[in-house]
Amino acid sequence: MNLVVDIGNSLVKMAVFQEDILLKKKISLRQDFLKNLEELSQKFPEISFAMLSSVSKTPSGWIERLKKQYQLFILDQQLPQLFNNLYATPTTLGNDRIALVSAACKKFSGKNVLVIDAGTCVTYDFKNDKEAYFGGAISPGLQMRFRALHTFTENLPLLEPEDEVKLVGDSTKTCIQSGVIFGLTAEIEGVIAQYEALYKDLTIIFTGGDAQFLCKRFKNSIFANSSFLLEGLNYILEFNKSQ
């Protein structure tokens, strides 16, 4: 049984897997990590292996705690991967993108796959039908776009995304909602269209915190999977256990 831990700037995502099957997922604030780790450890005493991925500095005590109880793997660019990494600067490739591409290789082997992760940033990652990873793109996410309009202007308010959005805004608020939400939607649709023109039989995966909000706005055939990154971390762990 495996434990995977994804540490972000403010949230920590943890998941327990029995081989490829997700048994439990928990999302918590950083300050609650050790308490939640203890709860999962008691509920699933069969856990033997752990994978740690972090986009921010991880307290040494957390690492020691994981090492003490489990055989721990820490994700970095040197850890053996499931794909052929053709990124021009592989040492700068983020752990989140490594995990997403790994999940694409495991779940959609032999297919052209575009993974769209809609979080703080929107990342696009492409791997081809020969399991070669080329890269993709990074652009501002929903919240970043709202904050940018507020931060870099004197009079525009800070807003949150709303489900009901007018294409033609009739107030400052509705104009911002239209610009941000329809703008990002058009960007994503445009990127998908360009990939589909280049690669036939393209599989599109949508994940990340804003995936559910955004994916219902698309006509394309898209697979939405909120646990895709965690699944990728588990696949990397399984792969390295056998090395």
Confidence grade of residue 128 (pLDDT, cut at 50, 70, 90): very high
Tell me how far apart the alpha carbons of residues 232 and 96 are, in angstroms, rounded to a whole number.
9
Over the stretch 62-121, which tens digit does the pLDDT of each residue have?
A: 999 999 999 999 998 889 998 999 999 998 999 999 999 999 999 999 999 999 999 889
Predicted local confidence at residue 9, as pLDDT: 73
Over the stretch 150-173, which tens digit does the pLDDT of each residue have?
A: 999 999 999 999 999 999 999 999
Predicted local confidence at residue 215, as pLDDT: 85
Percent of the chain exceeding pLDDT 90 equals: 82
C-beta of residue 189 within 8 angstroms of C-beta of residue 99: no
C-beta of residue 3 within 8 angstroms of C-beta of residue 70: yes
Main-chain phi, psi angles of 164, to 5 degrees: -90, 110
What secondary structure does DSSP assign to 95-153, as a single string?
HHHHHHHHHHHHHSTTSEEEEEEESSEEEEEEE-TTSEEEEEEEEE-HHHHHHHHHHTS
Our answer to whether residue 96 is catalytic in this structure is yes
Q: Which amino acid is at 93?
A: L
Catalytic residue among 96, 117, 125, 210: 96
CB-based contacts of 8, cutoff 8 Å, min separation 6: 55, 56
Q: Is 63 helix (H, G, I), strand (E, B) or coil?
A: helix
Tell me how far apart the alpha carbons of residues 12 and 5 are, in angstroms, rounded to a whole number.
7
Terminal alpha carbon distance of the chain: 17
Q: Is 230 helix (H, G, I), strand (E, B) or coil?
A: helix
- Report CA dihedral (120, 183, 116, 213) to the nearest 10 degrees: 70
Question: Taking the model in full, what pTM does it have?
Answer: 0.91
Predicted local confidence at residue 11, as pLDDT: 86
Crossing angle for the helix pair 228-241 and 95-107, to the nearest 10 degrees:
80
Confidence grade of residue 26 (pLDDT, cut at 50, 70, 90): very high
Predicted local confidence at residue 222, as pLDDT: 84
Predicted local confidence at residue 219, as pLDDT: 75
Confidence grade of residue 133 (pLDDT, cut at 50, 70, 90): very high
Over the stretch 167-225, which tens digit does the pLDDT of each residue have?
A: 999 999 999 999 999 999 999 999 999 999 999 899 999 999 898 899 888 876 788 89
CA angle centred on 85, ends 83 and 87, rounded to 5°: 150
